[in-house]
Structure 1
Amino acid sequence: MSGTAVPATMRGVYLPGDSTAVIKEIPVPEPGPGQLLLRVGASGICGSDIGYIYREHKTHRGVDGPAYRGVVTGHEPSGVVVAAGPGCREYGVGDRVIVYHIAGCMTCDNCRRGYQISCTGAARAAYGWQRDGGNADYILVEETTCVRLPDELSYVDGALIACGFGTAYEGLRRVAVSGEDDLLVVGLGPVGLAAAMIGRGMGARRIIGVEPSARRRAWADGLDLFDATVGVDAPGEAIAELTAGRGTSTAIDCSGSRAGRGTAVENTAEWGRVSLVGEGGTLETEVSDTLLHKQLTLHASWVTSVPAMARLAGNLVRWGVRPEVVVSERLPLAEADAAYRLAAGAGTGKVCLVADDMAGS
């Protein structure tokens, strides 16, 4: 791509908030100091986009008014650098990168630790929410939000690392999953599937999945990621049978539901560790027998850090794990409306928009 001319205009996808996706022709931006222009190779559709932007524009996490500012959508892009602005030092034309989806102030404590997701500065802006995102032919990004995409991984792999796999990895890091652990994964959407793949890479000896949708359980079973999957009708009985009555030493809730979180904490063994990564809903649990007497440790995490995302990309190569296997539908940018309809309910696994000429790269 290093010799490819950049056009004057490009396509970008917008979400009016009425369960449709609209493509508009817009100018291709030019990179300023510390910025890179990427040709987008793939861009994932996230469940948070469906709940807070696609169906209607909602206030999100204390934002004054709707969090979506009418920008190009998509906070899960990966691509190749086609132009670099003044002062860029780490990446140049031809480099393949993953985009961490929050551009922070880079001066607050959270940004200095690499957790731009928790930036406390006024300059914080999320791609696809407050600044133009990756559902486009090109995206303008801050160099500080980029992570190198290993040659062994595709652009679709990179798009999945940008959000869902990063989220699952951070949650499993918090509970320190290892070869001594069984892992319970609650909610087998894209993040739950990512948790199973990463948990296996981290050494978990047995992985059990819980999911109410028979269609999603069948999809997960077909991917051969779990030792067993169970539904939500008396999941505790099935988990007890699979673990000789002990429960699992680690659990991660990816469902974002009260029932799912309850399943996670109720079926974790004594001295176990529980990670909460699913957005929304509430946590409601009996405290004494369920938490105190079992000596449970609860962790909550929100996405991951830029350094951890870089380590994850390298670990996936080392483990021989390809995130793209959880993608059930890949559609070109021109079919963004159909892609969002699939992601909003009709799809089975992850839905990605891909560039026609870069889908296999």
Structure 2
Amino acid sequence: MRAAFLPGNRQVQLKDIDDPRPGHGQVVVAMRASTICGSDLRAIYREHLGEGPEAYQDVVAGHEPAGRVVEVGDGVDRIKVGDRVVVYHISGCGQCDDCRRGYQISCTSPKRAAYGWQRNGGHADLLLAEERDLLVLPDELSFVDGACVACGFGTAYEALCRVDVSGRDRVLIVGLGPVGNAAGLMAKAMGASTVVGVDVSGDRRRLAVDLGAVDLTVPAGDDDQLREILGDGAEVSIDCSGNGIGQLAALKHTRRWGRAALVGEGGQLSVDVSEVLIHRQLTVHGSWVTSTVRMAELLERLVRWDLHPERVVSDTFALADAATAYEVADAGASGKIGIVWDD
């Protein structure tokens, strides 16, 4: 089968590798959609960080996979051949407290392996996955919808749940990439009264408005305009920028007694703790991906809301054109980028 690897230095390599065969508790999934995440760009495509959970081990890339099950191994009971599935992209040890709660993302066992990072991911014709990592994709959702849920929408939903968004809230989103747009779309579905977006890119601000993810936008750094719109601040803020300046802006424009979630990876945040956090009584969440339980809940909610995550996808490419797909994603002027296969 064909598979895409990321050797660093903004390169994509296509190789022919052996088709996988399932062992006990494993299934083989024929890929139908595998979207590109900002962490792929930051930590693998541009360079190799090489340590911790972001240590790329020269495996098949892609940690946002969705497809159809074509083969199952011994001991597989819940998932059947023909099932349409989303792959939760971290396979944990299954025994620690975090794994038992469904938060394999936080597993610290040496057995932890993320698809597309430490074990083969979704940028290939076939994917070998553990049954426990699969969620059945509702018929109402497309494979591209599922791939978007596998990381980006799941991550945004977790943060929105942490800050308990409802109709009482105005929401400020800093960073209008795919995760920021996902957060805006779902915040509205959850009842947010107003969603304001901030980004340095005019293209991304316009795209967010066109997608309906935000009601209005403000250029990054324009604090006066933000204060004019939000007054003493938004009840909820979510940083998806992964940038220290953006993270600080999100906190500073959260109103007293408000709630904030930091989602964007990377960045160094320097903050006057007393002035910005303590004296203003803020609740701040660090929110990393989501759980299998929350992701299953999200799939059901998306059907109820009639919300299709694929609307944030601006361009799709065949696996043979993976290099072009990564170039477009890395340019940072588009929406979500996906690699797709014919069903």
User: TM-score under structure 2 normalisation?
Assistant: 0.98
1:90 offset after TM fit, Å? Answer: 1.1
Residue 268 (1) aligns with residue 254 (2): yes
Residue 38 (1) aligns with residue 24 (2): no
- Counterpart-to-counterpart distance in 2, 1:267 and 1:88: 49
Partner of residue 38, structure 2: 47
- State the one-letter code of the partner of 2:160: L
- State the one-letter code of the partner of 1:281: G
Partner of residue 290, structure 2: 304
Partner of residue 7, structure 1: none
Residue 241 (1) aligns with residue 228 (2): yes
Identity of aligned residues (%): 53
Cα 1:86–1:198 change in 2 (3 A) is: same
Partner of residue 330, structure 1: 316
1:287 offset after TM fit, Å? Answer: 2.3
- Counterpart-to-counterpart distance in 1, 2:200 and 2:333: 15
- Counterpart-to-counterpart distance in 1, 2:24 and 2:83: 18
8 Å contact kept, 1:329–1:347: no
Residue 97 (1) aligns with residue 85 (2): yes
- State the one-letter code of the partner of 2:297: R
- Counterpart-to-counterpart distance in 1, 2:207 and 2:312: 9
Partner of residue 69, structure 2: 81
- Counterpart-to-counterpart distance in 1, 2:92 and 2:276: 38
1:59 offset after TM fit, Å? Answer: 2.4
- State the one-letter code of the partner of 1:22: Q
1:16 offset after TM fit, Å? Answer: 1.5
Deviations 1:4-23 (A, max 9, x none): xxxxxx11001111211111
Residue 13 (1) aligns with residue 4 (2): yes
**What are structure 1's unaligned runs of at least 5 residues?**
1-9
Deviations 1:208-229 (A, max 9, x none): 0000101111111211221111
Cα 1:238–1:347 change in 2 (3 A) is: closer
Partner of residue 123, structure 2: 135
Which of 105, 111, 118 is the matching residue for 1:123?
111
8 Å contact kept, 2:238–2:260: yes
Moved beyond 4 Å, runs of 4+: none
1:337 offset after TM fit, Å? Answer: 0.6
8 Å contact kept, 1:182–1:204: yes
- Counterpart-to-counterpart distance in 2, 1:16 and 1:239: 41
User: TM-score under structure 1 normalisation?
Assistant: 0.93
Equivalent pairs counted in the alignment come to 343
Partner of residue 175, structure 2: 187
- Counterpart-to-counterpart distance in 2, 1:311 and 1:179: 20
Pairing of 1:111-260 with structure 2 (within 5 A):
111-234=99-222, 236-243=223-230, 245-260=231-246
Q: What is the alpha-carbon root mean square deviation over aligned residues?
A: 1.2
